[in-house]
């Protein structure tokens, strides 16, 4: 065990340890994608499925990938374009709400690859990884055969946003140094001490490491992964930006003109999976709009606010997000 592993086990208790006292949050978190953002490939249902499939034909390249499971570890090969190369698939990212994308991390070279195929639970099929149409051209005999090459920094940022704990850059990249999923302690800080004290009836003595008291600090915590203005590509198109909820909220007059009163919790339980109950969403808008200081809708005060002011926008084929920049869109006024 490394000093880093020791540090982690001394400070972090793990989600399971919270269940006995915070059953409600624990159960909600199990429903949320946060509890399944980063899984060892060998522990996934997809690994079994690939072993049964044996091969997969790329939809855009003249290329067939072959899968083999050896002691549950999934290996991928392309004997025609990359003879003699066998890539062990290390991690699976994404809960499956939209898509699950595998990556392979090679500790010996400190580099890796985002594989060209992903799993799409809605169609129950393996297909092209989102955005990989940009990598249709490839050089046989290189890692490009398998997908988008990743350097050390790419892998760390990828795993960093999908994990509870990730090792500092001073340590070499090793898969066992990461604690997967966006667990309780990613948002509440290491809590082992809290658990120990709570067992002695002294839970309140340990101060929370992360605070959600102001709307700014709240949204910044989420933006570390969900992204705001500081972390989006300035050349991104409007469609690319719809998946970055903090970016959208921070632009909305609902946020700007109600200082401190609007956070993600106004509309979501941060522990739970997103509710699709439209009546509840509309009520959340009407907390402010519908009498009181905020304006009522001159168009349809009893209509489905979300359809018009937070429409579902396709981000990539088959994956859509609700635009969190709540506004009167220009197209709407022209109609
Ligand atoms: C043995 C019971 C117990 C366990 C186990 C426990 N807690 Fe708590 N927790 C409490 C109690 C009691 C409070 C209320 C403390 C207070 O404010 O006086 C609390 C408060 C909290 C709060 C709100 C106040 C704050 O400090 O931020 C958070 C967040 C929290 N716990 C997170 C966790 C997490 C995460 C875990 C698992 C790693 C955990 N707790 C495990 C008993 C427990
Ligand atoms: C460490 C990175 C990280 C942080 C911090 C984070 N998230 Fe997430 N969040 C993710 C990832 C990754 C997913 C995608 C999960 C999946 O694959 O379904 C996600 C998904 C979600 C979902 C959808 C869950 C579902 O099942 O429908 C909500 C809602 C959400 N996050 C809200 C928040 C809020 C609110 C905060 C801040 C309090 C926050 N997140 C902080 C990484 C993060
Ligand atoms: C800046 C933080 C960040 C980085 C870096 C990042 N992700 Fe994510 N990822 C997220 C968040 C946040 C979500 C949740 C999106 C949502 O539902 O709003 C997500 C969702 C996903 C999903 C679920 C499907 C989807 O599109 O919602 C997959 C798969 C995924 N990421 C794979 C990856 C892979 C592979 C990498 C690295 C090559 C990566 N991510 C890098 C933050 C990040
Ligand atoms: C994505 C970030 C995130 C994750 C993951 C997360 N929480 Fe929270 N939690 C929050 C936020 C934000 C609040 C503040 C609630 C609010 O203002 O709506 C909170 C509040 C709490 C509270 C105080 C509730 C109250 O009513 O005062 C407890 C207890 C808690 N969380 C426990 C947990 C436990 C246990 C887990 C894991 C099973 C967990 N949280 C996972 C973001 C998170
Ligand atoms: C915390 C209070 C609050 C909540 C919740 C809220 N808003 Fe707002 N919203 C405001 C305020 C304040 C303004 C700016 C002044 C005004 O128009 O009343 C505003 C402005 C708007 C505007 C005009 C924006 C523009 O481009 O001029 C729209 C549209 C809007 N809100 C829709 C919504 C919808 C839809 C929801 C629910 C998804 C929602 N709001 C939730 C407070 C809120
Ligand atoms: C059919 C589409 C549609 C629905 C449904 C709808 N709106 Fe609107 N809303 C509009 C349009 C278009 C405008 C701009 C109208 C104008 O400027 O005359 C608007 C304007 C607004 C404004 C700005 C008013 C102002 O004077 O600045 C607010 C706030 C608003 N809507 C809130 C809501 C809320 C809350 C709901 C749900 C209860 C809702 N809207 C439902 C289309 C819609
Ligand atoms: C004013 C209300 C409101 C606020 C504030 C809000 N959301 Fe949402 N969010 C929604 C609605 C409505 C949906 C769509 C629910 C549905 O599917 O019917 C949604 C959906 C989502 C989804 C699922 C993916 C998608 O786009 O459909 C994620 C993830 C999410 N929100 C994260 C966040 C985060 C993170 C924040 C804070 C930065 C936030 N939301 C703030 C209303 C809100």
C-beta 286 within 6 A of ligand 5? no
C-beta 275 within 6 A of ligand 5? no
Q: Can you say whether the dihedral through the CA atoms of 252, 254, 258, 259 is positive or negative?
A: negative
Reading the chain (335 residues) residue by residue, the pLDDT tens digits are 689 999 999 999 999 999 999 999 999 999 999 999 999 999 999 999 999 999 999 999 999 999 999 988 999 999 999 999 999 999 999 999 999 999 999 999 999 999 999 999 989 999 999 999 999 999 999 999 999 999 999 999 999 999 999 999 999 999 999 999 999 999 999 999 999 999 999 988 887 777 788 999 999 999 999 999 999 988 988 888 999 999 999 999 999 999 889 999 999 999 999 999 999 999 999 999 987 788 999 999 999 999 999 999 998 888 899 999 999 987 776 54
C-beta 298 within 6 A of ligand 6? yes
pLDDT score for 292: 75
Report the nearest-CA residue for atom 2 of ligand 6: 308
pLDDT score for 333: 63
For residue 306, what are the CA distances in angstroms to 231, 244, 286?
Answer: 26, 17, 12
Q: How far is the CA of 24 from the centre of ligand 4 (A)?
A: 10
H/E element holding 113?
A: strand 111-115
* Residue of 252, 274, 247 lying closest to 262 (CA atoms): 252
Q: How far is the CA of 80 from the centre of ligand 1 (A)?
A: 55
Q: Which residues contact 116 (CB under 8 A, 6 or more apart)?
A: 58, 65, 128, 129, 132, 135, 146, 147, 148
Best residue among 34, 161, 322, 325 to mutate for probing ligand 7, ranked by most atoms within 8 Å of CB: 322
Best residue among 14, 15, 17, 22 to mutate for probing ligand 1, ranked by most atoms within 8 Å of CB: 22
pLDDT score for 30: 98
C-beta 312 within 6 A of ligand 1? no
pLDDT score for 335: 43
Q: Partners of 88 in the beta sheet?
A: 75
Q: Which atom of ligand 1 is nearest to the CA of 19?
A: 5
Best residue among 96, 268, 272, 309 to mutate for probing ligand 7, ranked by most atoms within 8 Å of CB: 268
* Nearest bound ligand to the CA of residue 315: 3
């Amino acid at each position: 065990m490394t000093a880093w592993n020791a540090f982690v086990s001394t400070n972090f208790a793990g989600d399971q340890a919270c269940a006995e006292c915070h059953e409600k949050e624990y159960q909600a978190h199990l429903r949320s994608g946060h509890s399944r953002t980063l899984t060892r490939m060998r522990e996934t249902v997809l690994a079994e499925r690939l072993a049964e499939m044996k091969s997969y034909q790329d939809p855009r390249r003249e290329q067939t990938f072959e899968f083999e499971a050896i002691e549950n570890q999934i290996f991928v090969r392309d004997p025609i374009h990359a003879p003699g190369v066998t890539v062990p698939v290390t991690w699976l990212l994404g809960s499956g709400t939209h898509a699950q994308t595998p990556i392979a991390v090679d500790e010996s070279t400190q580099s890796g690859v985002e594989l060209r195929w992903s799993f799409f639970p809605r169609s129950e099929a393996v297909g092209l990884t989102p955005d990989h149409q940009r990598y249709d051209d490839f050089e046989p005999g290189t890692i490009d055969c398998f997908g988008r090459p990743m350097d050390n920094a790419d892998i760390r940022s990828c795993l960093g946003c999908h994990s509870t704990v990730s090792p500092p850059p001073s340590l070499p990249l090793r898969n066992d140094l990461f604690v997967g999923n966006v667990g309780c302690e990613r948002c509440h800080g290491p809590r082992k001490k809290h658990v120990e004290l709570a067992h002695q009836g002294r839970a309140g003595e340990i101060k929370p490491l992360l605070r959600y008291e102001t709307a700014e600090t709240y949204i910044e915590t989420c933006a570390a992964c969900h992204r705001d203005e500081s972390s989006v590509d300035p050349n991104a198109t409007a469609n690319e930006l719809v998946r970055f909820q903090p970016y959208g909220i921070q632009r909305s007059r609902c946020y700007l003109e109600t200082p401190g009163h609007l956070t993600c919790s106004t509309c979501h339980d941060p522990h739970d999976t997103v509710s699709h109950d439209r009546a509840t969403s509309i009520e959340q808008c009407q907390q402010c709009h519908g009498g009181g200081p905020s304006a009522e809708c001159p168009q349809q005060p009893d209509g489905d606010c979300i359809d018009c002011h937070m429409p579902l926008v396709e981000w990539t084929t088959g994956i859509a997000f609700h635009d969190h920049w709540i506004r009167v869109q220009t197209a709407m006024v022209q109609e």
